[in-house]
Amino acid sequence: MKNTILKTNLRNNQFTLGSWITIGHPSVAEILCQSDFDWLTIDMEHNAIDPSMMQTLISVIQSHGVAALVRVWKNDEVIIKHALDAGADGIIVPMINTCKDAEKAVSYAKYPPEGCRGVGLSRAQEYGNSFEKYKEWVKESSIVVAQIEHIDGVNNIDSIIKTPGIDGVIVGPYDLSGSLGCVGELEHDLVNNALKKVENSCLKNKIVMGYHIVDPDPLKVKRFVEKGYKFIAYSTDFLLLNSAIKSGVGDIKSQMLSPEDNSSQNK
């Protein structure tokens, strides 16, 4: 019915690679699905994707056998319910700063008695044709990932990762740096010290830790994997597009133009 491979990989602390969808068009999702990602996250926080397109993108992703996650824009009961009723395999919830935040996210994602999610029939339940089957899937295989992107979340990481129903965490580096007063300075000592605290806690407790590597740089992925990160988001759709275009155009111009032409263009 739904993807269970990603949940199994998270339980076993195995490496998975995903990316971020911010462009609301099915073709973008299809292209990324053909690139051997294990999961894709539809970002509903920082772009103009509407709920209708979110459901379309979920359907497209799942049709390729890839797990479809939704980064909801708020830790909110109705918002989380909409994403899961649309058929998402799981959610990434931003700004989880306390154990209470984590408990709320899990509760909003799970039906009673595990949570308080309201019951409605939509795509996830095959429009009423398989509610009982879906109910069991939600209990056993739906995914809730806590996004750690504030120093408060870092300071409370031990209690957050021990919250029942939390399958792993993923660090949002830009907002984390902002909460430390060094926005965008991802290599700042304050950021690195915060990451070490997350790493120590997750590794000690054998909880999956993730990181969103925004720059499309495979060497950065390697560096974080070597530190024990297992749930890696590799860049975003528009940055991957931008990188390919800049690289290709740069190569073309360097091959087609003489040194004199390049020199005159760069003046």
Report yes or no on 183 lying in a domain: yes
Residue 263 pLDDT greater than 60, yes or no:
no
Domain count, the chain: 1
Whether residue 187 is contained in a domain is answered as yes
Specify if 90 maps to a domain: yes
Sequence-distant (6+) residues with CB within 8 A of 254 are: 262
Range of the domain at 149: 5-239
CATH of the domain at 132: 3.20.20.60
The answer to whether residue 255 scores a pLDDT higher than 80 is yes
- 25, 46, 64, 212: the catalytic one is 46
82 belongs to the catalytic site: no
Q: Is the pLDDT of residue 11 over 90?
A: yes
Within a domain: residue 129? yes
Percent of the chain with pLDDT over 90: 93
Instruction: Please compute Rg for the chain using Cα positions.
Output: 20
Q: With 0-12 CB in 10 A as exposed, 13-18 as middle and 19+ as buried, what is 152? A: middle
Q: Is 182 a residue whose pLDDT tops 50?
A: yes
Domain membership of residue 262 (yes or no) is no
pLDDT at position 1, please?
A: 47
**Residue 2 has what pLDDT?**
66
Q: Running DSSP on this structure, what letter comes out for residue 181?
A: T
Give a yes or no: residue 97 inside a domain.
yes
DSSP state of 182: -
Q: Is residue 265 part of a domain?
A: no
The answer to whether position 137 is within a domain reads: yes
Cα of 159 vs its chain's centroid, Å: 21
Strand segments, DSSP code E, in the chain are 16-21, 39-43, 67-71, 90-93, 143-148, 168-171, 209-213, 231-236
d(C-alpha 87, C-alpha 118), whole Å? 15
pLDDT digits (tens, 9 = 90+) for 75-112: 999 999 999 999 999 999 999 999 999 999 999 999 99
pLDDT tens digits for range 19-72: 999 999 999 999 999 999 999 999 999 999 999 999 999 999 999 999 999 999
